[in-house]
Structure 1
C-alpha cells in the first residue's frame, strides 16, 4: 500500500521527468549558433539537432501505449529514463555534429515515454473526483517545460557552455530512475498483451520519419528543387497511405485508427493540430524576433516568457476547478482560442521600438490561451470513446499536437522567406531619385559619415549599406508580423468547429488520461 508521502513523491518524480523531456524540445533553440561554431558545422547541419529529436518524438508517442502493454509499464518507463539520461550524457560529450544528432535522436526515443506514461501515472494516483485537478497539475508541467526551455538554455549558454544543456539532465535522470525503481508499480488492471505489429511499427517509423524530415528540411533545401526532398515526400505519402490501410485491415493494430470515427476525437484532433501549430510557432519565432530585431540577449529573451508562465499556472488551476464543477470543455477551449487570437493580433502590430514589457505582456495572453487548451482538448478528444479506446485516442491527439508544431515551423519558415522577399522588393522600389524623403535620409547618412572623416565616395557607400541594413531589418519585422497574423487567422478559421460538439455533455470523461496521452 502506497503511503501519502510516497504518492506525493512519485507524482513529483514523474512530472519532473515530463518537464525534463519537454524542456529538451526548446532548450537548444537559443544555442544553435554556439553549437555550430564549436563543432565546426553549418547552422543548417546543426538544426538537425532539433529535427532528430522531433522525428523521434513523433514516431514513439503513438506507439507508447502498445510498448507499455507489451514490455510492462514499469520496465518500459525506467528503461526509457535510462536511455534518455545516457543519451543526454553522450550529447554533452559529442565531438562532432553527427554524433550529437545520433544521440539526440535516441534521446527523443527515450523521451516519448517520459511524457506519455508520466501522465498516466499522475491520473492513476488521483481519485476519480479529482481527475481535473490531476489534469491541471500535469498540464502545468506540460506548459512549464517548453516555456522555461529557452530561458534555461540562454542562461546556460551565456554563463557556461552548450554541452551543459544536455548534461544538466544526467543528475535529474538518475534521481528519477532511483525514485521510480522503488515507487513505480504496474497498473492494477494490466492491459492485454498482443502480438507485435512489426509491419505497422515499421511503416509508421519510415513514414513519419520521412515526413518530419521533409517538413524540417524542406524550406532550407528549397523544397522540391532538391532531389532527396522529392524522394522523401514520395516515401512519406506512399508509406503513410499503406500504413492507414494496414492498420484498418488487421485486428490488433499498433495504432487503432478506427477511433477516429468519433466526431469529438476528429474535431479535437484538428483543434489540437492548430494548437500545436500556434504553440510551436510562437515559441520558435518570438526568440528570433527578440534577438535579431529587438537586440535582446538569449537570457533576456528567455525571461520574456516567465511572467506568462506564472499566470498560466493560475489559469491551469482555475481550468481544473471549472472542469471539476462541470463547465463544458468546449467553452474553455473557445476562451483559449480567443486569447491566443488576441496574442497574435498584438504581435502582428509590433515595431522595432516595441519594448520588452510589451512583448512580455503579449506572451501572457499566449500563456493563458495555452493553459486553457492543454487539458480540455484532451477531455474533448476522448469524451465519446469507449474506455478501451481512450488510451489510443489520447495518444493520437497528442501526436497531432507534435505534427501541428512540425507543420507550423516548416510552413512559417517558407512563409516568412516569401514575405521577406516581397517586403524587401516593395521597400527597395521606393528608393528612387524622385523620392524626396528617401534621398534626404540617404544624404543625411552621407553627411554623418563625412563628419567622421570619410571621403564622399566612401561615405556614400557606407550610407547605402546602412540603408540596405535598415531595409533588411524592416522587411524582417514586416514578414514576422505577417507570420503572427497568419497563425491568428488559422485559429479564427478553425474556431467554428466547436459548434459541432457544443451538444456534448458538459462533463466529459475524466478518467480518459489514465492512458497514454
Structure 2
C-alpha cells in the first residue's frame, strides 16, 4: 500500500533519475499535444472530409477540455492522491490518444480530443508537484529547472514532430506516438512513485458551479465554432447558444461569488494586480496562440509547404525562447516585472508587424526570421506576468489564483482561435471578391496568353492566383490586428501595482 504523508519521502540515485525522467516525459507529452496538431490540420481535414476551418476544432476542443478540468485538479488530488491521479490521468490520456488516432470523422475526433484534454489537464500541475516532492529541498531548484525545460522545449518539437509524422507516416501517428511514452511513464510511476503519494484529505466539490462552468463555456465555444458556417445570428441555434452562454456566465459568476467553497474562486479578482495581469495574459496569449494555429495552415494551403517544412518554420519561436529564458529569469529578480511584461508583449507586437509584409512568393527565411525573433519576447512575458498576478493575492489564495490564471490562459487560446479563424476566412473572401474584379480583365487574359497559357486554362490560372493572393492579404490583416492586440495587452499591465514580493518556485501550479 502506498505511503501517504504530508512530509514526502524523497528519492535518490537511480530511482530519482528514472522518476524524474518519467515525470518530465509526461509533462513534455501533454505540452507537446498543444502544438503537434497545428501543422497536421490540413492532413486531418483532408482525410476526414471537412474544411480547414472546421479542422481547427481539433485544437480548440483539446484546449477547452483542458481548461475546464483545471478547477477539478485540487479536488481530485485531495480525494485520490497525486500519484494515483497521475497514473489514472496518464491511462486516460493514452486511451483517448489511441481513439483519436483511429477516428474516421470530425465528431469522433473532437469527442476524443475532449477526453484527451480532460485527462491531460491535471498532468501539468501534478508533474510539477511530484517533481518537487521527489527531490530533496536543497535540490528543488534543479527539479523545477528540469520540469521547466520540458515545458519550454515541447512547443519546439511539437510542430516538427507533427509535420514529420504527417508527411512520412500519416496524421494518425501524431496521436499514436503518445502510447509508448505514456506506457513507460505509467510503469515508472507504479514502480517508483508510490512512496511519495500525497495524503488524502477531506474534499468537497462545487458541483453546481462546475456544471454552470461547463454549460456556459461549451455554449460559447460551440457558438464561435459553428457561427461562421451558420450565418451567425441569423440562425436560431446560434442565438440559442449565445443566450445560454450569456445567462450561464451571469449565473455562474453570481453563484461562485456567494458559494463558500467555489469551483473557481472569483474573489481573487478584487486584487487589482491579479485582474490586470489576467486580462493582459488573456489578450496576449490568446493572440499568440491563434497565430501559431494560422501560420502552418497558410504555409501548407497557399505556399505549397509540406507539414514538415511548416513545422520547421514555426518551431524557431521555441528555439529563441529557450535561449533567452535564463536571461529573463535572472532579470525578473532585479527589474520591475511590469516593465519586463510590457517589453515582452511589445516585442511580440513588433514581430507581428514584420509578418504584415509576408507575400505568396516569400522564401523560407523571410517567414522563419520573424518566428525566431518572436521567441525572444516570450520568456519576458510568461515568467513575469505570473509574478505580477500571484504576488498580488493573499498567500492562502495562491493555489486558487494560479489555477484561475491557467484556466483563463488556456481558454483564451481556444476562444481566440475560433474568432480569428472566422475573421481570417471573412478577410479572405473579401479580398477574393476585390481581386477577381481587378485580375479578370482583358489585359490579364492577354498577358497569360502571351506566356503560353491556352484559353481553356486561363480562367483556372486566374482563380488559383486570386485565391493565393487573397489568402496572403487576409493573413497580413490578421497580423496587423494581432499587433494591435499585443500593444493593448502591453499597456494593460501598467494597471497593476508593482509586485510587493517574490513568488516561491513552484507556486504557479
Q: CA offset at residue 258 of structure 1?
A: 0.8
**Offset, 1:96:** 4.5
Q: How far 1:3 moved relative to its partner?
A: 3.5
Which residue of 356, 365, 368 corresponds with 2:376?
368
Give ranges in structure 1 of 5+ residues lacking alignment. Answer: 433-437
Question: 139, 164, 167: which one pairs with 1:158?
Answer: 167
Deviation at 1:494, TM superposition (A): 2.3
**Residue 69 of structure 1: SS of its match in structure 2?**
helix
Per the alignment, in what secondary structure is the counterpart of residue 74 of structure 1? helix
1 CA distance for matches of 2:137 and 2:10?
17
Match of 2:468 in 1: 473
Deviation at 1:129, TM superposition (A): 8.7
Q: Give, in whole Å, the separation in 1 of the partners of 2:143 and 2:267.
A: 28
Partner of 2:359: 351
Quote the offset at 1:136 in angstroms.
5.9
1:188 Cα offset (Å): 9.2
SS in 2 for 1:510: coil
Q: Of the candidates 191, 197, 200, which is equivalent to residue 206 of structure 2?
A: 197
Distance 1:208 1:24, change over 3 A: same
Q: Would the aligned equivalents of 2:82 and 2:130 in 1 still touch at CA under 8 Å? A: no
* CA offset digits 1:152-187 (Å, max 9, x no partner): 111111111222111111111111112223443688
* Cα distance between partner residues in 2 of 1:279 and 1:124: 33
Task: Give the distance between the partners of 2:26 and 2:288, measured in 1 at CA.
Answer: 21
Structure 2: distance between partners of 1:376 and 1:128: 24
Over the aligned positions, Cα root-mean-square deviation in angstroms equals 2.8
Counterpart in the other structure of 2:324? 315
Change (3 A) 1:193 1:208: farther
Q: Contact (CA 8 Å) 2:60, 2:415: kept in 1 or not?
A: no
Q: Deviations over 1:189-243 (max 9, x none)?
A: 8686332211112111222222222223323333223332222222122112111
Instruction: Evaluate the alpha carbon distance shift between residue 22 and residue 72 of structure 1 in structure 2; reply closer, same or farther with a 3 A threshold.
Output: same
- 2:4 corresponds in structure 1 to none
Q: Distance in 2 between matches of 1:180 and 1:235?
A: 42
1:2 aligns with 2:5: no
- The 5-angstrom pairing of residues 85-484 of structure 1 reads 85-123=94-132, 137-184=146-193, 193-323=202-332, 325-431=333-439, 439-449=442-452, 454=454, 459=455, 461-484=456-479
- Residues of 2 paired with 1:123 and 1:500: CA distance? 33
Q: Check whether the contact 1:316–1:371 (CA below 8 A) recurs between aligned residues.
A: yes
- Give the structure 2 partner of residue 435 of structure 1: none
**TM-score normalised by length of structure 1:** 0.88
Asked whether 1:496 is paired with 2:491, we answer yes
2:6: which partner in 1? none
TM score, norm. by length of structure 2: 0.89
Matching residue of 2:5: none
How far is 1:416 from its partner?
1.8
Give unmatched runs, 5+ long, in structure 2: 1-8
How far apart, CA to CA, are the structure 1 residues paired with 2:146 and 2:384?
A: 13
CA distance in 2, matches of 1:45, 1:425: 22
| Secondary structure, aligned partner of 1:487 | helix
**Equivalent-residue separation in structure 2 for 1:132 and 1:274 (angstroms):** 31
